[in-house]
Amino acid sequence: MSLTEDVAAAIAEIITTFHVAKVTVEEDGQGGAWVVVDPVPTGQSYVQPTTWIRFHIDFLSPATDVYPHFVRPDLARRDGAGLGEAFAATPWGQSGEMAVQVSRRNLRHDPNIDTPVVKLLKVLEWIQSR
């Protein structure tokens, strides 16, 4: 099954918004897709200035929240402290590759406002503010 119209539109919006990054899309066979945006800035708190970020856009988008997001497994704070709440090292994908999961669920998801690109920007802003 190919991407739904809404998922394809969301991906197009991500590509436009992150035009200086490489956006990789892998269809999930159900109308949704796994998306990787690389690179994105991490902010001043981290040793690594950039990361890739992965997430799944469900075929029900925009009715569903995009959750969770995953970033590079070696993400580390400059001050040596742990990453803190909502970050967890975890195997990702079918290969079991390690990543850091960023858990920022939106319990008040509004499909008219909370598009996949809006969620991505909010997650990145949250990471950068830690």
Confidence of residue 107 (pLDDT cuts 50, 70, 90): confident
Q: Are strands 69-71 and 87-92 parallel, antiparallel or unpaired?
A: unpaired
What average pLDDT does the segment 65-88 reach?
96
Long-range contacts of 51-58 (CB under 8 A, 24+ apart): 51/75, 53/120, 53/123, 53/124, 54/92, 54/99, 55/116, 55/120, 56/28, 56/32, 57/7, 57/10, 57/11, 57/32, 57/33, 57/116, 58/32
The residue ranges of every structural domain in the chain are 5-129
Confidence of residue 94 (pLDDT cuts 50, 70, 90): confident
- Torsion angle, CA of 101/27/14/44, rounded to 10 degrees? 20
Task: Output DSSP code: residue 73.
Answer: T
Question: Topology of domain 5-129, per CATH?
Answer: Ubiquitin Conjugating Enzyme (3.10.110)
For residue 122 the two structure tokens come to 């909010």
Three-state DSSP class for residue 2: coil
The rounded distance, in Å, linking the Cα atoms of 84 and 66 is 21
pLDDT digits (tens, 9 = 90+) for 23-66: 999 999 999 999 999 999 999 999 999 999 999 999 999 999 99
Task: Name the phi and psi angles at 129, rounded to 5.
Answer: -90, -5
